[in-house]
Structure 1
Amino acid sequence: MKCGGAWVNDHYYSTKPQSASNRRAFEASHRGIQLRLTSDAGVFSRDGVDYGSRVLIEHMEIPENARVLDIGCGYGPIGLVAARLAPQGHVKLIDINERAVELARLNAEANGIHNVSFGQSDLFEAVQDESFDVILSNPPIRAGKAVVHRLFAESIGFLKPGGTLWVIIQNKQGAASARSKLEEIFGEDEVSEITKDKGFRLYRCTNAKTK
């Protein structure tokens, strides 16, 4: 976008989006869960929950008492559904984008979802002393392969033994190389393709470490 005569590099993975706020509200229904969501300019998929996130939401396995991390949460649809699926658990929603984090917090409040917490974070920066049963990621492909592969590499260190990382990614955006990287990190036997849907592939990666 252009601001004050100069071009501003404004992406959904910007720390502080410069685009003018233009909020919109819409209804979403996933896994039988109704949500009233507000999105805004400068965040990922502002016009509605994107197809990849919907595939992840429909297939992710969330134990009722799980401690869950939604990394790159955007305005919160994945993490908020996870919170509904884990009523005795807790979901932490983090994103580098401060506007996205504020929207996720607002959407949790609007839907009466309380077993959640939030943080602005560059990848895992804000959760350094925490561990999780489940990590959910619709990774920021436009941030570049190096960032995405770093997310994969660091994620295993934040999973409890037996914990799972769920990753949704499009074929045309590097699903094959993503799977190779995930197998390098987790081990070939610990990475499973759960589904493929309209060019998206959903991978589940298990932390096989016992301690």
Structure 2
Amino acid sequence: MAEHYYTQDPSVQSNRQVIHVSLRSKEFKFYTDAGVFSKNMIDFGSKLLIEHMNIPSDSKILDVGCGYGPIGICAASLEKTSEVTLIDVNQRAIELASENAKLNEISNIKLLQSDIYSSLENNEKFDVILTNPPIRAGKEVVYSIFSGAAQRLKDGGSLWVVIQKKQGAPSALEKLKILFSTVEEVSKKKGYKIFRAKKG
């Protein structure tokens, strides 16, 4: 089986590059590399999530499966009073995200290599959780992100998810409805859907 981005320590040879992108009317630069998700450009799903996500001030935010960091770094840039934690199982992705936070002069950020939520403190809770889930890792991993979010969110907190219809959006929506009190479809475009699931 070919190695993919949901890998703790990618063995594929490094091939770094820099991409430039405008997100939420701000200009960003990101180092990317082989062995991480969407290395040549920020994927459409992540861009759509960034476009619609709501980041409150003075809040704790978690980006699950952060890759090289565009979602979490953009969230941190939108609300400098909030603290954003980025987690990913992929060590190369975390190293890139760390460099990208510095590259974009973002300091209200924390990074952890973590298999889903395993490296977080047991009682740590968040106001917002953001995820473009690793579909290629399988439904069990994706649903673990959803169920973990239900436990990790504060009452009134929200999980924001982007997922393609052809990659399981309808079944993902049904799973979210089981776990959360309120689930809404915030946007849909080019086969991608943005769901906001609210706790309590």
Task: Read off the aligned partner of 2:116 and give its amino acid letter.
Answer: L
TM-score normalized with structure 1 length: 0.93
Task: Read off the aligned partner of 2:16 and give its amino acid letter.
Answer: R
Partner of 1:108: 101
Does 1:182 find its partner at 2:176? yes
- Structure of higher CA gyration radius: 1
> Aligned residue pairs: how many?
199
After superposition, residues 163-202 of structure 1 pair within 5 angstroms as 163-187=157-181, 190-202=182-194
Worse-superposed segment, 8-17 or 136-145: 8-17
Does 1:117 find its partner at 2:110? yes
Equivalent-residue separation in structure 1 for 2:187 and 2:143 (angstroms)? 21
SS in 2 for 1:176: helix
SS in 2 for 1:49: coil
Cα offset for 1:119? 0.2
CA contact (8 A) 1:72 1:140 kept: yes
Partner of 1:71: 64
Task: Read off the aligned partner of 2:191 and give its amino acid letter.
Answer: G
Task: Read off the aligned partner of 1:74 and give its amino acid letter.
Answer: G
Runs of at least 5 residues in structure 2 that lack an aligned partner in the other structure = none
Runs of at least 5 residues in structure 1 that lack an aligned partner in the other structure = 1-7
Does 1:153 find its partner at 2:143? no
CA contact (8 A) 1:63 1:85 kept: no
TM-score normalized with structure 2 length: 0.98
1:31 pairs, out of 24, 28, 34, with 24
Does 1:22 find its partner at 2:15? yes
Cα offset for 1:26? 1.2
Equivalent-residue separation in structure 1 for 2:30 and 2:39 (angstroms)? 10
SS in 2 for 1:69: strand
Does 1:134 find its partner at 2:128? yes
Task: Read off the aligned partner of 1:145 and give its amino acid letter.
Answer: K
2:78 pairs, out of 74, 78, 85, with 85
Task: Read off the aligned partner of 1:202 and give its amino acid letter.
Answer: I
Partner of 2:91: 98
